Amino acid sequence: MASASLGRQLVACLLNVSEARSKDLVETVARAALYNSEGVRREGTTVLNIFNDHDYNRSVITIVASIHSVTEAVLSACEEACGLIDMRAHTGVHPCMGSVDLVPIYPLGEEVGVEDCAKEARAVARGLTERVRGTSAFLFGWADAPLQRGLAHRRKEMGWFKKTTDLLTIRPDVGPPPQKRFGLTGVGASPYVMNCNVTIDTQDMAVGRSIATAIRESTPGGLPGVQVLALPHEGAVEIACNVESVKGVAPSHLTGGEPWPSFSVDGQTYCHAPASCITARVAELAERQGVGTKGTALVGFTPRECRGYAEFALSQGIAEFWKEQRRIRM
C-alpha cells in the first residue's frame, strides 16, 4: 500500500520513444521501468499511460515513481528502448533525434522540488551514456545548470527541427558525438508539461502553420507556456502543443473568467492552459479560414490527474495501470 507520505515524494517522467507501430515493443520498454532483470517489481513505481501515434511513430510513456527510485526505473526503460529501437530504420512525420527522444522529469509531490528532479535528470543522462555505449544526451530546463535553457531553445541548437542534421557536428552535453544507431536524447526537468494535440479538418499545412504561429507563446496574443508545431496527421493537420506550466495565475482576459488549473512547486504557484482553452482558440482561428476541427487528444494527464491516478495505482498495487485505466472511474 502507498503511504500518505509517498504521494508527497512522487515525480513523473513522460518518456518519449521513437516507436509506435510495434505496441509490443513499446510495452516492453514500459515494463522495463517496472520490473528488474529478474522480473521483480520495483516498489513505488507505476506506468499510468502509453500514448502511441502511428503517423508520428512516437510513443509517450507516463512513468510515476518516488524521487528516490525514479532514476533506476527511467534508466532501465531507456536502456531497453535503445536496445530495441534503431534510428537508422526510423520513419515518422514527427521530428525526433533519438531512440529515446526525450526524458523530462516533473515534480508531483509537495516534498519534491524542480532542483531535485534536475539532479535525477542529470543522473539519467550520465547513466544512459555509461550503460549504453554510443548514446549521448543534451540537457534542458533546470537540468541545464546554470543556464536553464528551455527545451525549445535546446532543440533548435541541436538541430531537432531540421529534416536532416549531421549528427557528428553536434556537441552533446553528456556522452560522445551522437551515432546514427541511437541518435541524441534530451534529458531535463521543469514544472509539469502537458501535450495537447488539436486536429483541424484540412490538409493545407499553410493553414496549420498560421494557426500554430498565432497561439504560440512567443507571438503577441499567444497562449502563455504553449509551444506549437503543425504536422500532417492521418489525412489532416494536427496542431501539436507542448503546454508548459507558467508561474502565477493566467491573466483574466485569457481565461474567459475561469481560472486556469494551478498547483504548487517549491512554494511557488504555477498554472497551465487547459485543453479546452487551446481547443477553443484553435477552433476560432480555423473557422476564420473556413476550416473545422476534428478532435483533441491530451497525451497523458494534467498534473493533478497524474498525481491522483498515481496515488490510486500505488495504493492498489497496480504497476501496469495503463491496462486498467479505461475500466477505472475516479
pLDDT tens digits, one per residue of 278-321? 999 999 999 999 999 999 999 889 999 999 999 999 999 999 99
Residue 327 has pLDDT above 80, yes or no: no
Q: Check whether residue 32 and residue 178 sit in a common domain.
A: yes
The pLDDT-based confidence of 67 (bands split at 50, 70, 90) is very high
**Co-location of 212 and 253 in the same domain:** yes
Task: Kindly indicate the confidence band of residue 160, based on its pLDDT and cuts at 50, 70 and 90.
Answer: confident
Instruction: Please indicate, yes or no, whether residues 310 and 266 belong to a single structural domain of this protein.
Output: no
Report the CATH number that the domain containing residue 258 is assigned in CATH. Answer: 3.30.70.670
170 and 117 in a single domain? The answer is yes
Whether residue 211 is found in the same domain as residue 105: no
Are 180 and 312 found together in one domain? yes
**pLDDT of 167 higher than 80:** yes
Give residue 4's pLDDT.
56
Same domain for 319 and 279, yes or no, is no
Quote the CA–CA distance of 19 and 56 in Å, as a whole number.
8
* Torsion from C-alpha of 16, 17, 18, 21, nearest 10 degrees: -110
Regarding whether 273 and 182 lie in a shared domain, the answer is: no
**Mean pLDDT, residues 147-162 taken together:** 90
109/51 same-domain check: yes
**What integer pLDDT is reported at residue 143 of this predicted model?**
98
Cα 15 from Cα 30, distance rounded (Å): 9
Per-residue pLDDT reduced to its tens digit, 207-258: 999 999 999 999 999 999 999 999 999 999 999 999 999 999 877 667 666 7
**Domains of the chain: total:** 2
156, 240: one domain? no
234 with 172, same domain: the answer is: no
* Amino acid 65: pLDDT: 97
User: 286 lies in which domain range?
Assistant: 193-299
Residue 239 sits in the same domain as residue 181: no
Confidence at 49, pLDDT banded by 50, 70, 90: very high
Percent of the chain with pLDDT over 90: 86
Q: Could you tell me the CATH number of the domain that includes residue 118?
A: 3.30.990.10
- At 1, the pLDDT band (50, 70, 90 cuts) reads very low
